[in-house]
Amino acid sequence: MDWRDEGIVISVRRHGESAAIVEAFTSGHGRHAGVVRGGAGRRMAPLLQPGARLALDWSARLEEHLGHFRVDPIDTPLAAVLADRAALAALGSVAALIAAALPERAAHPDLYAATRDLVAGLGRDPDWRAEYALWELRLLAELGFGLDLGACAVTGATQDLAWVSPRSGRAVSRAAGAPWADRLLALPAFLRLGGGAADAAALREALALTGHFLETRLGPTLAREALPPARARAAALIVG
């Protein structure tokens, strides 16, 4: 068995004297692990860092085996994220959420493309913080926990959507939600529109929104029934 794909390194752990087991989020084969010979050595270790994008050749005698990776570097965000604590924390959160939430060897090509673009922009793109919040929204949708932000759950209106019900995940217009504003989650415009300007207040609202649904919908399905701590660290640093 063998295949060729590209992937983003999620985790690396030493294997034996000089090899490493690398787990990558790949475009066509999902979250997939393999042994890299010499992966713990001086030449290879700097290339096998979380967030690095690699060309991967995987081979094994049987499909269910761990198998081996041959790797070639494509891009690494390391220089940019090391200079930005929030970006480094965001990278850690992306890796931890993928490792915890996605089943092994199940392809998620759309989420992969969004992850690739996000990781490439960490610490480089001036709007990367907003893109991180949008990525969390995409992750929820990919896992079957998508929010309905297209129309008001009460009136059907598509304009001036300002809130989200914490129970249903559906949008609510400003006027319809006003009497229950203290029970609803704020919906920043950039999150509903899929991009745009996001100041500190909008980022705080966005991460509170996605964080609520990550905790209440994704969290109970995880092995420890809780989100990886890396997510909370990232949210705290992103909003400052």
pLDDT of residue 77: 85
Instruction: Supply the mean pLDDT for the chain.
Output: 96
- How many whole angstroms separate alpha carbon 175 and alpha carbon 54? 49
Domain ranges of the chain: 2-76, 79-149+187-239
CATH H superfamily, domain 2-76: Nucleic acid-binding proteins (2.40.50.140)
pLDDT at residue 224, rounded to an integer: 87
Q: Considering the chain, what percentage of its residues have pLDDT values greater than 90?
A: 90
pLDDT at 240: 84
Burial 131-144 (b: 16+ CB within 10 A, else e): bbbbbbbbbbebbe
Q: Provide mean pLDDT across the span 74-79.
A: 88
Whether the predicted pLDDT of 216 surpasses 90? yes
- In sequence order, what DSSP letters do the residues of 103-126 get, joined into one string? PBT---HHHHHHHHHHHHHTTTST
Using the predicted structure, report yes or no on whether residue 22 has a pLDDT greater than 90. Answer: yes
Does residue 141 or residue 1 have the better pLDDT? 141
Instruction: Return the pLDDT at 15.
Output: 94
Question: How many of the other CB atoms lie within 10 Å of CB of 27?
Answer: 19
Structure tokens at 213: 């649904």
**pTM of the shown model:** 0.95
Model confidence pLDDT, tens digit, residues 117-160: 999 999 999 999 999 999 999 999 999 999 999 999 999 999 99
- Candidates 18, 22, 194, 44; CA nearest to 95 is 22
HEC assignment per residue over 143-198: CCCCCECCCCCCCCCCCCEEEECCCCCEEEEHHHHHHHHHHCEECCHHHHHCCCCC
Q: Is the pLDDT of residue 79 over 90?
A: no
